[in-house]
């Protein structure tokens, strides 16, 4: 891990250590429950980058999806391992940098579930995120996301309006499927919306 990345990891470790985790609902989110019910394939491998404490990862694993949950923060991963143990569910939990996942995993995921990770990364990394998502998803794989808009905070979270997000997923590599505004959840730091993309074939 290079120095910049160590700093970034330290930043997120600090948030958990200080218990300053305003995005954390303490349970899986309603939008993810809806995505799973209406837009997930009936089977398929799910990747959750920047999973945090990972309630959604456990929720999906409980419903039979093979889930790989990734976060580089110590406390997030410790909590998720404990939660998965308590619930008796099996899932893969990786404490790694989401941009450096092993190339052996390329093309192995059917769904990338994004929730408040894109808005947590530095905008200079948006291209890396798109490349990570593209290489890890199978052709036809779906990026299903809960994205956040935060107009007056200097990030993270960074403001991620739909136009900005769509602009990161070029049309020759992705099909934009749909988006939908979500009712404001006062428990989360900003308004959110759903957006769905499909990876075009290689
Ligand atoms: C705002 S939190 C969202 C957590 C979770 N997705 C949720 O909605 O509750 C962002 C998470 O992304 C993780 N993260 C940020 N950059 C990362 C990176 N490069 N590799 C792995 N995890 C990262 C942080 O540690 C943090 O847990």
CB 8 within 8 A of CB 159: no
CB 182 within 8 A of CB 199: no
The answer on pLDDT for 100 being more than 90 is: yes
Pocket test residue of 7, 50, 119, 132 for ligand 1, highest count of atoms within 8 A of CB: 50
Query: Residue 34, class by beta-carbon neighbours within 10 Å (0-12 exposed, 13-18 middle, 19+ buried)?
Result: middle
| CB 76 near ligand 1, within 6 Å | yes
Residue 33 is encoded by which pair of tokens? 């429950």
The answer on pLDDT for 202 being more than 70 is: no
Q: What is the pLDDT of residue 201?
A: 82
| CB 130 near ligand 1, within 6 Å | no
Integer Cα distance of 89 and 69 in angstroms? 13
What number of helices (H) and strands (E) belong to the chain?
6, 7
Which atom of ligand 1 sits closest to the CA of residue 73? 25
Closest Cα to atom 14 of ligand 1: 50
Residue 202's CB: how many other CB atoms inside 10 A? 9
pLDDT per residue over 50-70, tens digit each?
999 999 999 999 999 999 999
Which atom of ligand 1 sits closest to the CA of residue 25? 9
HSE, CB side, 13 Å, CA atoms: give it for residue 133. 31
- Which of 98, 114, 111, 134 has its CA nearest to residue 193? 114
| CB 58 near ligand 1, within 6 Å | no
Residues 6+ positions from 163 with CB-CB distance below 8 Å: none
Q: In the predicted model, what is the mean pLDDT of the chain?
A: 95
Integer Cα distance of 55 and 28 in angstroms? 5
pLDDT per residue over 114-152, tens digit each?
999 999 999 999 999 999 999 999 999 999 999 999 887
Integer Cα distance of 2 and 137 in angstroms? 25
- The helix (run of H) or strand (run of E) holding residue 6 is helix 3-17
pLDDT per residue over 156-184, tens digit each?
999 999 999 999 999 999 999 999 999 99
Closest Cα to atom 4 of ligand 1: 52
| CB 50 near ligand 1, within 6 Å | yes
Banded pLDDT at 154 (limits 50, 70, 90): confident
Which atom of ligand 1 sits closest to the CA of residue 55? 9
- The helix (run of H) or strand (run of E) holding residue 47 is strand 46-49
Domains of the chain: 3-199 (3.40.50.150)
């Amino acid at each position: 891990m290079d120095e910049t990345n160590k700093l970034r990891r330290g930043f997120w470790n600090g948030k958990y250590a200080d218990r300053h985790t305003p995005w954390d609902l303490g349970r899986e989110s309603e939008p993810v429950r809806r995505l799973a019910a209406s837009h997930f394939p009936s089977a398929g491998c799910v990747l959750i980058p920047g999973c945090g404490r990972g309630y959604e990862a456990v929720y999906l694993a409980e419903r039979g999806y093979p889930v790989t949950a990734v976060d580089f923060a110590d406390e997030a991963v410790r909590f998720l391992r404990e939660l998965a143990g308590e619930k008796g569910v099996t899932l893969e939990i990786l404490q790694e940098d989401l941009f450096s996942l092993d190339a052996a995993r390329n093309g192995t995921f059917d769904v990338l579930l994004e929730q408040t990770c894109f808005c947590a990364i530095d905008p200079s990394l948006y291209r890396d995120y798109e490349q990570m998502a593209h290489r890890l998803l199978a052709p036809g794989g779906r990026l299903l996301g809960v994205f956040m808009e935060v107009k007056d905070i200097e990030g993270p979270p960074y403001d991620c309006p739909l136009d900005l997000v769509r602009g990161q997923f070029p049309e020759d590599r992705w099909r934009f499927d749909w988006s939908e505004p979500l009712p404001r959840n006062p428990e989360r730091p900003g308004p959110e919306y759903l957006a769905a993309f499909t990876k075009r074939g290689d």
